[in-house]
Amino acid sequence: MELFTELRENPADINAIVARRRKDFTGDFFRHLNFLVNAYNGLDERDGIVRLGAKCLSAIHAYDCTLEQLDIESAQLKFDDILNSSSLDGACDKIKSLAKAKELDSSLILLINRAWAAAKESTTMNDKVKDIMYHIYTTTKESLKSISPPEMKLLKYLLNIEEPEERFGALATAFSPGDGREAKDEDALYTTPSELHKWIKMLLDSYHLNKEETDFMDARKMSDPVIIQRLTLLKEMIEEEYMKRYIHPEEEEEPMDDS
């Protein structure tokens, strides 16, 4: 792999390479490293590859944590701005403007979902505040329908696949469009594990908040136990096969084969 060559020739620049080429550090890359470990006979060469893999995992974890924190902070600033509006109409208008500008992202939607959940379940919050949070939540739902993010289209496609193996195969394809994230199929939908994971959490949150309402997906489908089960399985698959294994190496006992 060309990426492996670049890393081996520039061991002091691993952090910079991860920042520039994060999308290339896929499961296939780490499987390739494991293959090389088993292919080499020299202990020094094998040890060097294992150490390189460990450094890559550490750099990836640090990079992703930084991005996630920045994403959350940005979403919180947007949410604070919405809450600081002079009127409820003003708050709803800001949500619609964010949707129109394609800035109504999954992190912000998760914050709004969780805020409404907390307000709904609170026994101390007054009804006026609950009403404000409910209107912000419902406006977000309606605004999301108008922007139709690719992750939602991808989820609808995945959830309509009956066979689990075919569904998980389509999931893997959605995470690996190729170099430069250029789609192999112009009609296909591609995203990242962390981004799709956030949208799935948002859907499940929405379902548990208001099972009786029309939420982000068709109400009939979202009330179908099979659909909820498939969403949950997709979430678990992403966490185990993509996020835990390659993004959170400290949770893996043996991220690299050192035998």
Q: Where are the domains of the chain?
A: 2-66, 85-147, 148-259
Instruction: Please write the tens of the pLDDT for every residue from 110-130.
Output: 888 888 888 888 888 888 888
Residue 219, both tokens:
């109400």
Say what the pLDDT of residue 81 is.
94
What pTM value is reported for the model?
0.56
Residues of the chain with pLDDT below 50 are: 178-186, 212, 214-215, 219-220, 246-259
Query: Cα(118)–Cα(116) distance, rounded to whole angstroms?
Result: 5
Instruction: Please write the tens of the pLDDT for every residue from 185-238.
Output: 445 678 888 888 888 887 887 777 665 454 455 544 555 788 888 888 998 888
Burial-class residue 117 by CB neighbours within 10 Å (0-12, 13-18, 19+): middle
Q: Nearest 5°: CA angle at 57, between 56 and 61?
A: 115
Q: Would you give the distance in Å from CA 127 to the centre of its chain?
A: 34
Query: Cα(114)–Cα(168) distance, rounded to whole angstroms?
Result: 28
Radius of gyration, CA atoms only, the chain: 21
